[in-house]
Amino acid sequence: MASHKILVIDDSRVIRARVRDMLPKGNFEVIEAKDGIEGIDAIRAQKPNLIMLDFLLPRMSGYEVYQEIQTQPEFQSIPLVMMSGRREELTEKIQEPFEFFEFIEKPFEQKELIGAIKGAMAKARKARPQQAAPAAAPTALPTVDSSAEITALQKQIDTLTQDIAALKAQNNKILAFIKRKLA
């Protein structure tokens, strides 16, 4: 069974098949979605290692899918490659330089696809700015109930740290595999 899941969200069956055919054979399971709603559902259900996202989609646009990804911290760390036949379609909504995803213009060749995947993997590791919480009226600080709550919070932090390390290791494995296939 494939160890890496790549989600291709594109309304064109030809593009979905082209991406599948261009990827190195072996360790990849390609999951397909033909519109934005199927794509969001697949992201939630499948937890892919990479997302290839068309910008113009039926039912829910690629831009709307991108916005949803940006609001979910657990999705932000997934490498993202945006695809479009016209770069200006994308830049009307999202200004360049593209900081957290890679862009590839359709039609593309295998070398361009692999380069975009590598770029997306590097950009996915970038730290995201923390969104400021809305200002609220000052309130009394809650009382901390002994060290039990602190211990529970520390366990959550440790688990998150392990999850982040596992994601980084997984991304490094994908990159190493792609480099071996290209060599």
Tokens of 132: 């400021």
- Closest C-alpha among 182, 171, 169 to residue 23: 182
Confidence band, pLDDT 50/70/90 cuts, at residue 94: confident
d(CA 143, CA 124): 37
Q: Is the pLDDT of residue 2 over 80?
A: no
Confidence band, pLDDT 50/70/90 cuts, at residue 137: very low
Question: For the chain, which domains are there?
Answer: 4-127 (3.40.50.2300)
- Closest C-alpha among 24, 25, 18, 27 to residue 52: 18
Mean pLDDT, the chain, integer: 80
Range among 5-9, 70-74, 91-95, 175-179 with highest mean pLDDT value: 5-9
pLDDT at 147: 62
pLDDT at 83: 92
- Greater confidence, 33 or 122? 33
E strands present in 4-88: 4-9, 28-33, 50-54, 80-84
- Tell me the average pLDDT across 130-145: 48
Amino acid identity, residue 113?
A: L
Q: Provide φ and ψ at 100, rounded to 5°.
A: -115, 5
pLDDT at 128: 62
pLDDT at 170: 74
What is the percentage of the chain residues whose pLDDT exceeds 70?
A: 75
Burial of 19 (0-12, 13-18, 19+ CB in 10 A): buried
- Greater confidence, 92 or 132? 92
pLDDT at 35: 95
